[in-house]
Structure 1
Amino acid sequence: METAWLQRHQIGVYALTVGGAVSIAVARPATASLFEQLVNPVLALLLYVTFLEIPFVELRNSVTNRRFMAGALGMNFLVVPVVVFGLTRLLPADPVILVGVYMVLLTPCIDYVIAFTDMADGDAGQLTAATPVLMLVQLLLLPAYLWLFMGRDIAAAIEPAPFLEAFVFLIAVPLTLAWITQLWGERAEAGRRWEAVMAWLSVPMMAMTLLVVIASQLPRVQHSLEQIAVVIPVYVAFLIVMPVLARLVAGRLRLPDGESRALMFTSVTRNSLVVLPLALALPAEYGLVPAVVVTQTLVELTGLLALTRLVRSRVWERSETVIQKVSFE
């Protein structure tokens, strides 16, 4: 199976994978714990494969791109909180539901967002360069936003350890290994062959990530779906509103197409897999919060597949004309 064939049919591969993962989760929920142990290793390998496709000269140049960094920070930490606060006005005044929604929607993704950006021909290198800043700022601001929206007790329950562990294991280690591999590839034929094999693995690893995440997380929510179904329209609305706002901001900042796509994905994709340990550590009265977080993961993965297809289509290209009129006239 050639790399070009996999790239051309990747959305179909992912759709079949999602269907298979749902079937496993429903038919064999006891396997969830096994799949959960695989989530971080599979994510780390996916990001290693993704980082291999980014020239490190490009990555160094991306660090100094102030317009993109301003756009990513502004979207995630100024625009998103306003949107989230507005959307949660549609929810019942249940602290458990609200805490879960705030925790997951106020934290930008630092892991598989890079793979989805790369899959949609966005500037994955630029987004990778922004990842340390996004991680640090969300670590500092999440307690502040929870204190503002929910009160002091919830804010005090946030621990930095899961954020730091995720950054080291999912970003720093794969990025370092990818850099070493690229150096190896420049010096030896064996290194170039290894890089070719890793390039072939790009689509299979994305499919494996979808499989382990869905198969491990779906059993968490299937018994409490009636209680948390109220949050699904909010998550769907977030997936619809944020791409439009990100496209407008990208037009205002005059970002190139690749950076515009990257800005859209960082604005939409949330840090659910890192936030989940925080949710599990909350007091017993917040026992439903992990299910609220996991529900966002399941909605988001489905939405990202649709968004990826949309961004790669002519709809995205035609929207540039509309954005320019809105931004500059």
Structure 2
Amino acid sequence: MVATTVSRRGENGRAMAREWLQRRQVAVYAGAVALAVALAVGRPSTAPVLEGLIDPTLAVLLYVTFLEVPFVRLRRAFRNRRFVGAALATNFLVVPAVVWLLTRALPNRPALLLGVFMVLLTPCIDYVITFTGLAGGDAEQVTATTPALLLAQLLALPAYLWLFLGPTAAAAVEIGPFLEAFLLIIALPLSLAWLTEAWAERSPRGASWQAAMGWLPVPMLAVTLLVVIASQLPRIGDSLGQVAAAVPVYVAFLVVMPPIARLVGARLDLPVGEQRALVFTSVTRNSLVVLPLALALPAGYELVPAVVVTQTLVELAGMVALTRVVPRWLVPDRSAAEN
């Protein structure tokens, strides 16, 4: 009896902690970003150590994120061909055209252009799930689509870089880090999440482990932002003048893509949750996974990681705004809109 009471109290405590974090997650992320900036400015020597933590931190983030969605619902969401097709078409047909138009005003600097194209042509596969959920979108559908999005960008990115920048820039990008990212950041966490769910169905200890992991998505996203920004912000400081040229393009992308994705979702008559999910998967970019790719570039492209991380900083501010704009004005509930 005492053990049962203690166990229930522990479960209630974890549930309260999780609820508290979810209600305040935007503030938690803002605090993580502020701490990362302070660390980068005050202790720039820690950047190399933190850079080595990016991949494992991302892997843990995706593991606890995948655990949020039961695999029964995940399989059902993946069979939603209309949404998956809309996400692929918007990200790999519409977005490249928009990005090409937006970058016409940029100076002809190969490293700057390569960084902008690398990050804007690759749809997000990690914290897009969190922000979609915050906006009342179908996070399960986004989660189910992430493997297809990653595989598609693996194939499409070299082709688009060759088309937009020529063979030299395309050849500079090695596919190895992308394959490594898929195996370590997607396939491994997804497999471990599946094994954890199977364990939880058969064992009380497994169920307890899964419940304990339930409060980690918000802290892990905060840790990921801290690690990425603190490790890469010194690069931006060294080349601020050159990187600043990309900021208007990033802002314009955040403004232009939501109504376009909204129009696509409405034309396909997707449910409200899926329309919101389509907006976020069309706008949020894969900066955290592209960063290792940028760091692996040869000499002459040292500016690219700073260009990529700058997009992360712009996008985070945009995501906070979009979690409010999308459900209130861009894709409101149909019942509320009718009233």
User: Would you call these one fold, judging by a TM-score over 0.5?
Assistant: yes
- Report the equivalent of 1:61: 76
Which whole-Å CA distance do the structure 2 matches of 1:284 and 1:65 have between them? 44
Question: 2:276–2:331: 8 Å Cα contact kept in structure 1?
Answer: no
Which whole-Å CA distance do the structure 2 matches of 1:3 and 1:265 have between them? 24
Alignment equivalent of 1:195, drawn from 210, 213, 219: 210
1:318 aligns with 2:332: yes
Which whole-Å CA distance do the structure 2 matches of 1:315 and 1:298 have between them? 24
- CA separation of 1:94/1:322 partners in 2, compared to 1, >3 Å: closer, same or farther? farther
Q: Which amino acid aligns with 2:91?
A: N
SS of equivalent to 1:4: helix
**Structure 1 segments unaligned to the other structure (5+ residues):** 325-329
1:1-329 superposed matches below 5 A? 2-311=17-326, 313-318=327-332
Q: Which amino acid aligns with 2:329?
A: V
- CA separation of 1:283/1:247 partners in 2, compared to 1, >3 Å: closer, same or farther? same
Q: 1:6-30: CA deviations, max 9, x gaps?
A: 1111111221221111111111111
- CA separation of 1:82/1:237 partners in 2, compared to 1, >3 Å: closer, same or farther? same
Which whole-Å CA distance do the structure 1 matches of 2:259 and 2:19 have between them? 31
Which whole-Å CA distance do the structure 2 matches of 1:74 and 1:298 have between them? 26
- CA separation of 1:120/1:175 partners in 2, compared to 1, >3 Å: closer, same or farther? farther
Deviation at 1:215, TM superposition (A): 1.0
Question: 1:39–1:209: 8 Å Cα contact kept in structure 2?
Answer: yes
Question: 1:111–1:171: 8 Å Cα contact kept in structure 2?
Answer: no
Share of identical aligned residues, percent?
64
- Report the equivalent of 2:5: none
SS of equivalent to 1:287: coil
Question: 1:43–1:209: 8 Å Cα contact kept in structure 2?
Answer: yes
Deviation at 1:240, TM superposition (A): 1.4
Which whole-Å CA distance do the structure 1 matches of 2:62 and 2:214 have between them? 12
Q: 1:243-295: CA deviations, max 9, x gaps?
A: 12111111111112222222112111212233233333434233322221221
Scaled by the length of structure 1, what TM-score is found? 0.91
Which whole-Å CA distance do the structure 2 matches of 1:2 and 1:283 have between them? 45
Question: 2:102–2:249: 8 Å Cα contact kept in structure 1?
Answer: yes
Deviation at 1:316, TM superposition (A): 4.6
Question: 1:232–1:295: 8 Å Cα contact kept in structure 2?
Answer: yes
SS of equivalent to 2:105: coil
- CA separation of 1:101/1:68 partners in 2, compared to 1, >3 Å: closer, same or farther? same
- Report the equivalent of 1:327: none
- CA separation of 1:24/1:259 partners in 2, compared to 1, >3 Å: closer, same or farther? same
Which whole-Å CA distance do the structure 2 matches of 1:18 and 1:211 have between them? 6
Q: How many residues align?
A: 323
- CA separation of 1:231/1:191 partners in 2, compared to 1, >3 Å: closer, same or farther? same
**Structure 2 segments unaligned to the other structure (5+ residues):** 1-15
Deviation at 1:317, TM superposition (A): 4.8
Which whole-Å CA distance do the structure 2 matches of 1:157 and 1:17 have between them? 33
